Amino acid sequence: MIWVNLKRVVKSGLVSFWRNGWVSLTTIMVMIITLSVLGSLLFGKAILLSVLGQLQNKVDITVYFKADAKESDIVTLQESLSGLDEIKDLNYVSREDALVAFRNRHAENTLIIQSLEELEDNPLGASLNITAQNPSQYESIARFLEASVFSSIDKINYRQNKVVIDRLTNILQTSKNLGTGISIVLIVIALLVTFNTIRLAIYTSRGEIKIMRLVGASNRYIRSPFIVEGILYGFISAVVTMTLFYPLTLWLGPLSERFFGDINIFYYYIANFFQIMLLLSAVGISLGVVSSWFATRRYLRV
């Protein structure tokens, strides 16, 4: 009996979906817009995180060692720093590498190159570039270094970079909060529009609902076909939305890579296709089911 009723419900929902073709098409188009907004927010978040990550990676602090610093002392300090949870990356630059980089940087300055040639020894000391997991952690790393007893340290450039690091921390936090706020507002607007569209679609079937009630159909049986329609609205809208994203991201991919550096939005779409499809399908189906349930209950007095 259960399977018979289920078969009738599904069949009724499919018949109603195809019979009200224009209404179904309008509802699907509105849901496509809703899911497109959600998908665009996902792509926008990926771009934002990529840009913020690039900015974060460009900020570090550098420990400069004295020219006569012992290699063993530097290795000991490096091992101590490696044990800190705040450390993301350590990049050691030897005296020889520092001299090569200095020569390359001033290759066109004849006076500086000649001055280096006259020196008998390499005047540059080794250095250690430190990247933190989060910009807000540079303060604690700097305090650890300043409190250390390593006499080989010449200077730490954290205080000179502190203004830039603090500004970057504020930019990261503000950008994340702003992105979250905008996402919530757009999603709420899209959900309200979709809900009202499905409510109007169900309103066109009010006469059919009254007849079903007169013949003694239960509230669950009356709602079920509309819930089936809601599932169809959500799934079809998700499939169409993902299909539309393919040419769009294919076109925007090179542009995103050119303007934002490390991220190609098309590659992101391909790499996360099934996750995005699953998310849009879940949101679309949930929205269709919930909207259908509330519309039949609240507005049609079922």
Please state, rounded to an integer, the average pLDDT across all residues of the chain. 76
Please check whether residue 101 is in contact with residue 93, taking contact to mean a CB–CB distance below 8 angstroms: yes
Q: What are the strands of the beta sheet with 127-132, ordered from one edge?
A: 87-93, 127-132, 61-65, 153-156
Please check whether residues 93 and 149 belong to one and the same domain: yes
Please check whether residues 77 and 10 belong to one and the same domain: no
Please check whether residues 175 and 292 belong to one and the same domain: yes
Token digits of residue 249:
């991201």
Q: Does the pLDDT at position 14 exceed 90?
A: no
Question: Higher model confidence: residue 140 or residue 148?
Answer: 140
Please check whether residues 177 and 288 belong to one and the same domain: yes
Among 193-207, 227-241, 250-264, which is the least confidently predicted range? Answer: 193-207
Q: Does the pLDDT at position 119 exceed 90?
A: no
Please check whether residues 49 and 65 belong to one and the same domain: no
Distance CA 9, CA 24 (A): 17
Most confident of 79-83, 144-148, 216-220: 79-83
pLDDT band at 161 (very low <50, low <70, confident <90, very high): low
Nearest to residue 27, comparing CAs of 277, 229, 225, 206?
229
What pLDDT is recorded for position 302?
46
Please check whether residues 261 and 201 belong to one and the same domain: yes
Please check whether residues 193 and 292 belong to one and the same domain: yes
Distance CA 267, CA 50 (A): 13
Please check whether residues 50 and 79 belong to one and the same domain: no
What domain count does the chain have? Answer: 2
Query: For the chain, how many residues are written?
Result: 302
Q: Does the pLDDT at position 196 exceed 60?
A: yes
Residue 225, judged by CB atoms within 10 A of its CB (0-12, 13-18, 19+), counts as buried
Structure confidence by residue, pLDDT tens digits, 170-182: 776 776 777 677 7
Residue 110 belongs to domain with CATH number = 3.30.70.3040
Distance CA 135, CA 125 (A): 26
Q: What is the pTM of this model?
A: 0.67
Q: Give the residue from 137, 161, 185 where a domain finishes.
A: 161
For 31, the domain range is: 2-55+170-299
Structure confidence by residue, pLDDT tens digits, 202-222: 666 666 666 766 666 666 766
